[in-house]
Amino acid sequence: MSGSLFIGLMSGTSLDGVDAVLASFDARGLPTQLARVSVPFPDDLKHEMLALNSVGNNELARSALAANALARVYAAAVDQLLNLAGIQASEVLAIGAHGQTVRHSPAQGYTIQLNSPALLAELTGISVVADFRSRDVAAGGQGAPLVPVFHAGVFAAGHPRVVLNLGGIANITILRPGAEPLGFDTGPANVLMDMWCHMRTGHPFDADGAWGASGVVHARLLRHFLDAEPWFSLPAPKSTGRDLFHWSWLESRLTSVCAELNLASQPRAEDIQATLRALTAHCATDAIRNYAPDAQDVLVCGGGARNAALMQDLQALLPCPVLATDHAGISSQDVEALAFAWLAWAHRQGVAASKPAVTGARGPRILGACWPA
Ligand SMILES: Nc1ncnc2c1ncn2[C@@H]1O[C@H](COP(=O)(O)OP(=O)(O)O)[C@@H](O)[C@H]1O
Ligand SMILES: [Mg+2]
């Protein structure tokens, strides 16, 4: 096999689990994907990592234990990948492991991803590159998004294009021929929808968007969601996470809309779900219209690409085609994990993976640190 083998492990804000890919990279950093797996988080780990997003008792010790548990799930994903591909651990140059974000506060100079790269290296016998965001934050940047340079490598076209990642949070990459990529977070993607869906139906997410599609968008509530949140009107570069879009964000807005509209009870649960979906679609398409009105297509990745109702909303709000990245050769479920394999490749190559135009940092930086095998 030609090229160098890397593994990417991505576990994002949604807390759904780990997406893992094994890929070989050529000298220019272009990937050929060899295998992929998704490993869901055990319920207790998911709940603990969710709890660690908020202030709580004995956080330091609990974080260390959760990080070790996460490393064990990561190691299981690596093991499955190697078995699927028939590859030995010794053939893989490095794993790029994102870790689990529990705080993201670049304005205060920190971002925290729970991770235990030392344990992951120990369990797998493979070098681990991790802690990708902190150097960019130290250089005055947002530490996010880190994927635009990778998106440019694999999705650049002969025309202006936007890549929209719909994970827990949504981020866009703007690609124009001959120009540096741009990118920033646009707001919630699935995080609020998942919260509401779980609260009202017991399901972790709204499969295919069917429940939300049975409801009707509540126009006043949507307006209130958009108007009452100053973050939406901040200029790029910007990033966000569960620090802002948490349960009380949603609860307080539902309460104030009911008071404002003099409603004795909340809108129907499915209407709220439809409205949260519309919020995701509006935030993303407003950003695209404002920053990339020349885009000739929008490629969507992340779990939100599987929400048919959300994809329809996006298409209804944009004049250009909205397609899953599968149409450009990479499964929408694998783009972000592949990006973290690329970030490990970039670290090993000494390639600066961050762009000041994206994160607002003082300059490009080599991201991550390596825990050798
Ligand atoms: N079949 C589906 N229908 C609707 N939404 C889905 C589906 N599959 C996944 N999702 C959504 O995608 C989310 C996971 O997306 P992902 O890209 O992994 O996000 P993150 O990077 O935050 O982990 C889930 O929490 C869920 O909201
Ligand atoms: Mg995920």
Ordered by start, the domain boundaries in the chain are 4-144+334-371, 148-320
Are the CB atoms for 151 and 173 separated by under 8 Å? Answer: yes
**Residue 265: pLDDT over 80:** no
Residue 226 to residue 233: CA distance in whole angstroms: 9
Predicted model pTM: 0.96
Q: What is the pLDDT of residues 96-149, one digit of tens each?
A: 999 999 999 999 999 999 999 999 999 999 999 999 999 999 999 999 999 999
Q: What is the pLDDT of residue 276?
A: 98
* Greatest alpha-carbon span in the chain: 67
3-class DSSP string for 101-128: EEEEEHHHCEEEEECCHHHHHHHHCCCE
Ligand 1 center from residue 147 Cα (angstroms): 18
From 113, 307, 334, 338, the mutation candidate for ligand 1 (largest count of ligand atoms within 8 A of CB) is 307
List the residue whose alpha carbon is closest to atom 19 of ligand 1: 167
Mean pLDDT of 48-63: 97
Mean pLDDT of 70-85: 98
CATH C-level class of 148-320: alpha beta
Tokens 């009105």, residue located: 293
List the residue whose alpha carbon is closest to atom 9 of ligand 1: 303
**Residue 222: pLDDT over 60:** yes
Ligand 2 center from residue 173 Cα (angstroms): 19
Mean pLDDT of 301-311: 98
Residue 314 to residue 209: CA distance in whole angstroms: 13
Is the fold of 4-144+334-371 the same as that of 148-320? Answer: yes
Does ligand 1 lie within 6 Å of residue 211's CB atom? no
Are the CB atoms for 329 and 2 separated by under 8 Å? Answer: no
Residue 311 to residue 193: CA distance in whole angstroms: 14
Ligand 1 center from residue 125 Cα (angstroms): 30
Q: What is the pLDDT of residue 2?
A: 67
Does ligand 1 lie within 6 Å of residue 14's CB atom? yes
Q: What is the pLDDT of residue 340?
A: 98
pLDDT band at 187 (very low <50, low <70, confident <90, very high): very high
Residue type (1 letter), 157: A
Are the CB atoms for 9 and 96 separated by under 8 Å? Answer: yes
List the residue whose alpha carbon is closest to atom 13 of ligand 1: 303
Within 10 A of 229 (CB to CB), how many other CB atoms are there?
Answer: 18
SS3 content of the chain, % helix, strand, coil (to 5): 45, 20, 35
Residue 16 to residue 48: CA distance in whole angstroms: 13
CATH 3.40.228.10 fits 4-144+334-371, yes or no: no
Give percent above pLDDT 70 in the chain: 99
Q: What is the pLDDT of residue 1?
A: 54
pLDDT band at 263 (very low <50, low <70, confident <90, very high): confident
Ligand 1 closest atom vs CA 169:
22
Residue 137 to residue 109: CA distance in whole angstroms: 6
**Residue 264: pLDDT over 80:** no
Helices (H), the chain: 43-51, 59-85, 117-124, 134-138, 148-155, 191-201, 210-213, 219-227, 247-260, 269-291, 308-317, 335-349, 356-359
Q: What is the pLDDT of residue 259?
A: 84
The ligand with the least distance to the CA atom of 302 is 1
306 phi and psi, to 5 degrees? -90, -5
Give whole-number Cα distances, 21 to 26, 75, 244, in Å. 16, 13, 30
Query: What are 180's two structure tokens?
Result: 């540096």
Residue 100 to residue 111: CA distance in whole angstroms: 11
Average pLDDT, the chain: 96
Geometric angle at alpha carbon 86, from 83 and 90, rounded to 5°: 90
Q: What is the pLDDT of residues 316-344, one digit of tens each?
A: 999 999 999 999 999 999 999 999 999 99
Q: What is the pLDDT of residue 108?
A: 97
Q: Which residues of 337-353 are buried (b: 16+ CB within 10 A; e: fewer)?
A: bbbbbbbbbbbbeeebb
**Residue 261: pLDDT over 90:** no
Ligand 2 center from residue 262 Cα (angstroms): 38
**Residue 258: pLDDT over 90:** no
The ligand with the least distance to the CA atom of 301 is 1
The ligand with the least distance to the CA atom of 205 is 1
Mean pLDDT of 22-43: 97
pLDDT band at 164 (very low <50, low <70, confident <90, very high): very high
